[in-house]
Amino acid sequence: MFVLVNLKAYPCDPVAVAEAARDVADESGARIAVAPQAAHLAAVADTGVETWAQHVSPVEHGSHTGSTLAEAVADAGAVGTLLNHSENRIKLADIDGSLVAADRPGLETVVCANNPDQAAAAAALGPDAVAVEPPELIGGDVSVASADPAIVEDSAAAVAAVDDDVDLFCGAGVSSGEDVSAAADLGASGVLLASGVAKADDPRAVLRDLVSGI
Residue 136: Cβ-neighbour burial (10 angstroms; 0-12, 13-18, 19+): middle
Active-site residue, from 27, 133, 136, 178: 133
Would residue 61 show up in a list of annotated catalytic residues for this protein?
A: no
Active-site residue, from 50, 55, 85, 153: 85
- Binding site residue list: 6-8, 138, 173, 194-195
Would residue 153 show up in a list of annotated catalytic residues for this protein?
A: no
108, 131 Cβ separation under 8 angstroms: no
- Binding site residue list for substrate: 6-8, 138, 173, 194-195
| E strands in the chain | 2-6, 31-35, 50-53, 80-83, 108-113, 129-132, 167-171, 190-193
| Residues known to be catalytic | 85, 133
